[in-house]
């Protein structure tokens, strides 16, 4: 079995070399950077779904959180914001949010039994309403002021690596909140809830112009490694060479990061912790009855997976140097990751790594491939006097979505375990 995996990875290597031959080396490097970022995200989902069986369909939300976080940390300081009343008003809004939160928390402390029990639900609704009104009364003027005077709050101007870490932390915090409230749900209900939450996150990031500049997009977000322009400045005159070196540098950082994370994930998976998570996944009732704290462990793993997704989302945004909230789509950012681990093999980190890189490459080349295919059919239909196919480029882009759907269908039907399936090691082997 190990041999089969090695052949698959070798095949992947050949595919990458072939890409470098067909396209150009810098373009292949670009594909690889994104592919490794997606592999990290796929590892995150593998932790959640493959290890613990948590049905997270809100991957996009965590990627957006990561992207917005890295922008906030690494984008240069916005002096117009810091010299205005903005920071003070945001501080007041924060206080209002904390006060509101405290009020809600206080009401939840009312015991479910006793004199006030009947009023509890009613008071809770009132508390939420009051907290919402108080928060809105502070945040709305602050948002208006910042948008009018400073465009948006800008960033902190720190190195991008801190931004990646911060992206992971923010995604983890948000996952903790989501997990706390949603993980009581199972399967279909959890899937619907997480999609709902990720759409809420998207709406917020898209419309909070004061924080993320919304649809106006933020750019350029800096790289953690030297940009092509920096390499040129350092004395490499050939522009192609500069791009090649800069992208290699970025790819090296990403690969190192993925490698380190992969090593620890694999260690955790093979250790007692991994066995416990699989036990919970396969039968949470039984795992609970032998004293495992199912809710807490699931929350833990949900946060861990989300941290990886946040880092992956931060890398993606760093690389394109652009935060564009309207560019996030469930297809490109949630379902593709699901396809990656279904095709790769849920429950096996090697499978997730393989699936992440492989599916990203398939996704990228399916567009030029379908342009070629359509042009061919178009030429044929022209030759047969049916006329050419209009707007080949735009249609080819849609072909990708169709290909993704086909891949899911075939994978589920013929290889439900994935290409590198989960292998459970027993005592004997």
> Which residues in 149-258 belong to E strands, given as ranges?
none
340 sits near other proteins (criterion: CB under 8 A):
no
193 sits near other proteins (criterion: CB under 8 A):
yes
Answer for which of 291, 391, 427, 428 binds other proteins (CB under 8 A) is 391
Under rule CB under 8 A, which residues in 206-245 are in contact with other proteins?
A: 206-207
CB atoms within 10 A of CB 249: 19
The torsion of the CA quartet 416, 421, 328, 158, rounded to 10 degrees, works out to: 170
Would you say 3 or 112 has its CB closer to other proteins? 112
Cα 417 to Cα 75: distance, rounded to the nearest angstrom: 42
Cα 323 to Cα 314: distance, rounded to the nearest angstrom: 10
| Cβ-Cβ contacts under 8 Å for 196 (sequence gap 6 or more) | none
* Nearest distance from C-beta of residue 398 to other proteins, angstroms: 4
373 sits near other proteins (criterion: CB under 8 A):
no
* Nearest distance from C-beta of residue 274 to other proteins, angstroms: 21
Helices first, then strands: H and E counts in the chain: 18, 0
Give the binding range for other proteins (CB under 8 A) out of 183-191, 240-248, 268-276, 308-316: 183-191
419 sits near other proteins (criterion: CB under 8 A):
no
Answer for which of 97, 110, 279, 399 binds other proteins (CB under 8 A) is 399
Q: Which residues pair with 323 in a beta bridge?
A: 218
Binding letters toward other proteins, positions 126-165, x by CB under 8 A: ----------------------------------------
Cα 65 to Cα 4: distance, rounded to the nearest angstrom: 37
SS3 string of 87-141?
A: HHHHHHHHHHHHHHHHHHHHHHCCCCCCCCHHHHHHHHHHHHHHHHHHHHHHHHH
Answer for which of 9, 55, 262, 273 binds other proteins (CB under 8 A) is 55
Q: Which residues contact other proteins by CB under 8 A? A: 55, 181-182, 184-189, 191-193, 195-197, 199-200, 203-204, 206-207, 330-331, 335, 338, 342, 391, 394-395, 398-409, 412-413, 416
């Amino acid at each position: 079995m190990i041999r089969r995996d090695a052949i698959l990875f070798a095949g992947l290597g050949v595919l990458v070399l072939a890409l470098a031959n067909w396209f150009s080396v810098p373009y292949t490097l670009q594909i690889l950077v994104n592919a490794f970022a997606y592999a990290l995200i796929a590892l995150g989902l593998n932790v959640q779904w493959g290890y613990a069986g948590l049905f997270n369909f809100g991957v996009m939300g965590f990627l957006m959180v990561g992207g917005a976080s890295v922008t906030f940390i690494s984008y240069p300081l916005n002096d117009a914001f810091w010299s205005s009343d903005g920071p003070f008003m945001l501080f007041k809004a924060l206080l209002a949010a904390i006060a509101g939160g405290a009020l809600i928390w206080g009401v939840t402390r009312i015991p479910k039994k006793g004199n006030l029990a009947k009023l509890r639900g009613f008071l809770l609704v009132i508390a939420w309403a009051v907290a919402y009104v108080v928060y809105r009364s502070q945040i709305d003027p602050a948002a208006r002021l910042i948008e009018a005077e400073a465009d948006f709050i800008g960033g902190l101007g720190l190195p991008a690596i801190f931004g990646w870490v911060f992206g992971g932390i923010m995604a983890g915090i948000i996952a903790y909140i989501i997990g706390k409230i949603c993980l009581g749900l199972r399967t279909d209900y959890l899937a619907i809830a997480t999609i709902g939450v990720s759409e809420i996150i998207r709406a917020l990031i898209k419309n909070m112009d004061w924080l993320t500049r919304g649809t106006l997009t933020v750019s350029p977000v800096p790289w953690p490694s030297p940009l092509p322009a920096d390499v040129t400045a350092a004395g490499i005159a050939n522009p192609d060479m500069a791009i090649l070196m800069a992208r290699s540098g970025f790819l090296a950082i990403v690969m190192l990061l993925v490698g380190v994370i992969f090593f620890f994930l694999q260690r955790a998976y093979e250790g007692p912790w991994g066995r416990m998570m699989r036990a919970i996944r396969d039968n949470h009732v039984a795992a609970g009855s032998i004293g495992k704290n199912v809710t807490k462990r699931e929350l833990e793993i949900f946060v861990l997976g989300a941290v990886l997704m946040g880092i992956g989302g931060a890398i993606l945004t760093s690389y394109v140097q652009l935060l564009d909230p309207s560019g996030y789509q469930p297809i490109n950012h949630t379902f593709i990751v699901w396809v990656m681990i279904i095709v790769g093999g849920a429950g096996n980190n090697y499978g997730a790594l393989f699936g992440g890189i492989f599916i990203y490459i398939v996704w990228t080349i399916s567009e030029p491939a379908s342009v070629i295919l359509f042009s061919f059919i178009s030429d044929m239909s022209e030759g047969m006097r049916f006329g050419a196919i209009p707007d080949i480029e735009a249609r080819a882009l849609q072909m990708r979505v169709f290909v993704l759907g086909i891949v899911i269908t075939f994978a589920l039907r013929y290889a439900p375990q994935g290409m590198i399936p989960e292998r459970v090691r027993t005592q004997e082997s």
